[in-house]
Amino acid sequence: MAKDEFKEFRLVGTRPDRPDGLDKVTGRARYGADISAPGMLWGAVVRSPHAHARIVSIDTSRAEALEGVKAVVTRADFPTGLTGEDWDLQENTMAGERALYDGHAVAAVAATSKLRAEEAARLIDVTYEVLPHVIDVDDAIKPDAPVIREGAADATVPEGMPPNVVRYMEFGHGNVEAGFAEADLVREGHYKTEATHQGYIEPHACLGQLGGDGKGEMWVCTQGQWFIRKMCAGVLGLDAAQLRVTPSEIGGGFGGKTTIFMEPLSLALSRKAGGKPVKIVMTRSEVLRATGPTASASMDVRIGMKKDGTLTAARAEFRMQGGAFPGSPVDMALYCAFAPYKLDHVAHVGYDVLANRPKCAAYRAPGSPMGAFAVESLIDEMCRELGLDPMEVRLKNAVREGDRASYGPKFASIGLVETLEATRAHPNLAEPLGPNQGRGVASGYWFNHNGETSVSLAISEDGTAQVSIGTPDIGGSRASIALMTAETLGIPYEDVRVNVVETGALGVNEPTHGSRATFASGKAAVLAAGQAITEMCRRAAAEWGIEPEAVEWVDGAAQPAGPNAGKFPPMSIAEIAGKMGETGGPISGHHESVPEGVGASFGCHVVDVEVDPETGRVTILRYLVVQDAGRAIHPAYVEGQYQGGAAQGIGWALNEAYIYDDKGRLQNPVFLDYRVPVASDLPMIDTVIVEVPNPGHPYGVRGVGETGITPPLPAIANAIQDATGARLRALPMNPPAVLAALKAARGA
Amino acid sequence: MSKIHVTTTVNGDPVEFLADPRETLLDCLRDHLGLTGSKEGCGTGDCGACSVTLDDRLVCSCLVLGVEAEGRRVDTIEGMADADGLHPLQRKFIEHAALQCGFCTPGLLVAAKALLVQNPDPTEEEVRYGLAGNLCRCTGYDKIVRAVMDAAAEMRQEAA
């Protein structure tokens, strides 16, 4: 559909109550830990207190002797011979020869009560031989660094690299040296970001059951029930189809619930306990120590700029550790780093590095915030040095449709220029600033993933519709999919019920990740509705005795298409549905594909801060998020994504960080010390939804979930410099770090 | 450890349960009484997802022992709506899209209700400080603060 074919919609763009709202304000909604089963056991996990240690022995006898203990499992209870990601997942689920990080699971127990399981876990005696460890990414590539795993490097790593480098990449285009030679100013900077956690408020929880016949079921809070199925089956050597996985309501994920942690343990314990269901609920400390935070990064960026602000060349070299396994998002960080800029000469180099930390998982726009922190900070510094307006420089170099992206392909329809223009026009930029106050601007980018998608729609006997989707609803996607389905069918929003279903009910679906749910499940639902409409037109045509092609669907009814088709009164969806038994049976629609036509999303944030020169505390005075949504199906939940992303980015910028002691033990595994923003830390977060419709989606949707976490890191650093003259190049910018930077700036 | 018989009142109804003395009030509500609306997000009193009132005082039920409920009055999210319908805060949370994943919502609603009992006409800042003990990771709090202020305004109008 071309842009100019968009018209005013009846429902798309409105803000109805979400379908699951009532359940969620009354406490009825059932999350991961809210389900119990008859005969259920409780599981508890024994975790390594060491960052790196050889497991000499595990003595389970005292635990097994405790009354009420029904099963104990260690790595010996898992199949051997796995390779690749299956092995990584298994090794992360349950340590083998060595514990690789503080919190790594080494054994698990199931008992008749939660307290008994915890007591039994304390009775498992593990003897460790502590090994040297490494936490920091730069330390991990030093010549004398402890080696996490010999031979872990893949084929991309050239000979002679340090052994903890497991993946290496180089890409770009043009000739950066020639580009730097064209510049009036070439600057480079070194930046570091610490690991942060998604910080979803719901700890991981599951209720797993597995019989000796290899058939099992699981209730689990997850972003993707098919991922849970595939990964658990891989780790335990099961047939995927024999495991039915039902997603609970999910209490936040942000990427961290797209993989497995203790889920296979509940199944392994259940099998050993004769098939009794086993519930495992993580504590907050387990979540922070042993699930998947994001990577930490060490980054070097070099940029060339002309006096008028034109960028001539850019080079980025990023090193990221993603824990004791390959998979840090260094590739994505590099793809996004220069994405907002038209560059003829650009080069990227990336190192994926192992360290003694938990296996990182996705966290909202994985990698992009770190890269943006480095690049957007340096561009801001160069604008200051040349006396240029950072908004104008961003507009001058902004990519447009047809431009080659810094990471290779040509951009399809994008809305960066429109986003920057809307930002420049916003009244927040005209607000006066007082002493110790400053303003910072930054852009951000994230992709829109498609992924395997399967959706079924069925028309009920009364003409209402049910839609079965496979992407869990984390932030209101039931509402957006109901809106699009109702719009397409020409029926009221309230006549559509969207159900998130278990793995037995649909073909494979990727999780709610990659900003894809409203795009991919939404597009599939619209196409499924189109199939149902075709069938309803066919039924009407048969009754009227005309060709199906002579029937069109208008406002929820079949009608003859034009005067030549014949003269019949419209036949409503309720009328057609009411007699479907006599006219050919059930009416449904189905769509499955990897939907084409994803639309990337750019954003621009403007933040005003005040820096207390005595304490170094940074207060957010004003915050603006401007982002291209393509088309906002339910604008309130689009705003919610923008605001939530900004708040997480603010936390990452100012406070949040994994803090390790010299033994490699996490020092802040509770919310008191891993401090995420609270209501009194933040102002209202202003939003502008830019709509440059994505031609690849029937209603123009772009994925909006992730871009919003990217700009806050550099925007706040830029604002602090504006307020104080001090430039911070490492996160978090907490009071001690800001005070040190103020002191250094005064001394300079 | 032998269990202790606890008699208490939850959402106006008399209830009894057997509590291990180590179990929290949250454990007892969820695992013995089936009231799973109160959530455990941290177990250390930092997130507020388990907020309930104990004799009208807002508490983190993860920091109260189940046996401490003896003879007291506990009110949870499950008691917030009555036969006449939702509490204005519940309605306004839906109307303002003040929830995304919804996990923090029960605790926030209980805490907001307690706040409005103490202060029926709070400023934005008072709402922000009043709810600073309840973590929400999805919304950035903007729509939550608006929903609470809107509900407060409506409740003041009804009371007038």
Q: Which domains does chain B have, with CATH numbers?
A: 4-79 (3.10.20.30), 88-159 (1.10.150.120)
- How are beta strands A125-130 and A98-99 bridged, if at all? unpaired
* Cβ contact, residue pair B138, A114, below 8 Å: no
Is the pLDDT score of A7 beyond 70? no
Q: Classify residue A304: in a domain, yes or no.
A: no
Q: What is the mean pLDDT of residues B102-123?
A: 98
A500 and A576 in a single domain? The answer is yes
* Cβ contact, residue pair A476, B100, below 8 Å: yes
Which chain B positions have a beta carbon within 8 Å of A20's beta carbon?
102
Share of chain A above pLDDT 90, in %: 97
CA distance A22 to chain B (A): 8
A456 and A588 in a single domain? The answer is yes
Q: Classify residue A52: in a domain, yes or no.
A: no
CA distance B91 to chain A (A): 8
List the single residue in A644, A678, A680 with the smallest CB-CB distance to B138. A644
Which chain B positions have a beta carbon within 8 Å of A284's beta carbon?
41-44, 46-47
Show which of residues 692-711 on chain A sit within 8 Å of chain B, judged by CB atoms: none
Distance CA A672, CA A667 (A): 11
Q: Locate the chain A residue with the closest alpha carbon to B100.
A: A475
A650 and A724 in a single domain? The answer is yes
Q: Locate the chain A residue with the closest alpha carbon to B82.
A: A26
Distance CA A344, CA A367 (A): 23
A463 and A379 in a single domain? The answer is no
A722 and A667 in a single domain? The answer is yes
Is the pLDDT score of A2 beyond 50? no
Nearest alpha carbon to residue B135 among A707, A194, A650, A681: A681
Q: Classify residue A481: in a domain, yes or no.
A: yes
Sheet holding A465-469, edge to edge: A496-500, A465-469, A453-459, A588-593
pLDDT by residue (tens digit) across B60-109? Answer: 999 999 999 999 999 999 999 998 899 999 999 999 999 999 999 999 99
Overall domain count for chain A: 2
Distance CA A47, CA A101 (A): 9
pLDDT by residue (tens digit) across A77-124? Answer: 999 999 999 999 999 999 999 999 999 999 999 999 999 999 999 999
Nearest alpha carbon to residue A219 among A474, A30, A493: A30
A621 and A631 in a single domain? The answer is yes
Nearest alpha carbon to residue A324 among A671, A664, A74, A675: A664
Is the pLDDT score of B40 beyond 50? yes
Q: Classify residue A102: in a domain, yes or no.
A: no
* Cβ contact, residue pair A200, B46, below 8 Å: no
The amino acid sitting at A628 is D
Query: Tell me, what's the pLDDT at A748?
Result: 61
Q: Classify residue A529: in a domain, yes or no.
A: yes
CA distance A685 to chain B (A): 6
Residue with tokens 């208008």: A554
A389 and A483 in a single domain? The answer is no
Per the prediction, chain A carries an average pLDDT of 97
A444 and A455 in a single domain? The answer is no
Distance CA A613, CA A343 (A): 39
Last residue of a domain, one of A541, A565, A593: A593
Last residue of a domain, one of A593, A627, A642: A593
Q: What is the mean pLDDT of residues A535-558?
A: 97
The first and second tokens of residue A272, run together, are 């050993």
* Cβ contact, residue pair B41, A20, below 8 Å: no
Q: Exposure pattern of A97-119 as b/e (b: 16+ CB <10 Å)?
A: ebbbbbbbbbbbbbbbebbbbbb
Q: Classify residue A541: in a domain, yes or no.
A: yes
List the single residue in A27, A249, A685 with the smallest CB-CB distance to B142. A685
Residue A676 sits at the chain B interface (C-beta within 8 Å): yes
Is the pLDDT score of A201 beyond 90? yes
Residue A283 sits at the chain B interface (C-beta within 8 Å): yes
Query: Tell me, what's the pLDDT at A564?
Result: 87
Share of chain A above pLDDT 70, in %: 99
Mutate to test the interface with B, among A678, A685, A687 (most CBs of B within 10 A): A678
The first and second tokens of residue B126, run together, are 């008072």
Distance CA B30, CA B25 (A): 9
* Cβ contact, residue pair B77, A26, below 8 Å: yes
The amino acid sitting at A215 is K
Query: Tell me, what's the pLDDT at A214?
Result: 95
Backbone angles phi, psi at A624, to 5 degrees: -125, 130
CA dihedral over A723, A729, A735, A737, signed as positive or negative: negative
List the single residue in A201, A643, A677 with the smallest CB-CB distance to B103. A201
A627 and A724 in a single domain? The answer is yes
Provide ipTM, 2 decimals: 0.98
Which chain B positions have a beta carbon within 8 Å of A28's beta carbon?
37
Q: pLDDT band for position A295 (50/70/90)? A: very high
What residue spans of A314-472 are helical by DSSP H? 330-337, 368-386, 390-396, 416-424
Sheet holding A278-281, edge to edge: A69-73, A105-111, A41-47, A278-281, A205-210, A216-220, A243-247
The amino acid sitting at A416 is L
A381 and A491 in a single domain? The answer is no
Distance CA A610, CA A678 (A): 18
A604 and A732 in a single domain? The answer is yes
Q: Is the peptide bond before A732 cis (omega within 30 degrees of 0)?
A: yes
Query: Tell me, what's the pLDDT at A1?
Result: 36
Mutate to test the interface with B, among A17, A18, A22, A26 (most CBs of B within 10 A): A26
A507 and A603 in a single domain? The answer is no
Q: Classify residue A63: in a domain, yes or no.
A: no
CATH number for the domain spanning A650: value is 3.30.365.10
Is the pLDDT score of A193 beyond 80? yes
Q: Classify residue A143: in a domain, yes or no.
A: no
Structural domain containing residue A568: 3-28+450-593
Residue A636 sits at the chain B interface (C-beta within 8 Å): yes
Which chain A positions have a beta carbon within 8 Å of B20's beta carbon?
113, 115
* Cβ contact, residue pair B103, A200, below 8 Å: yes
Query: Tell me, what's the pLDDT at A3?
Result: 39
Last residue of a domain, one of A593, A623, A641: A593
**Could you tell me the CA-to-CA distances from A674 to A195, A336, A368, A429, B47 in Å, in that order?**
11, 27, 22, 32, 11
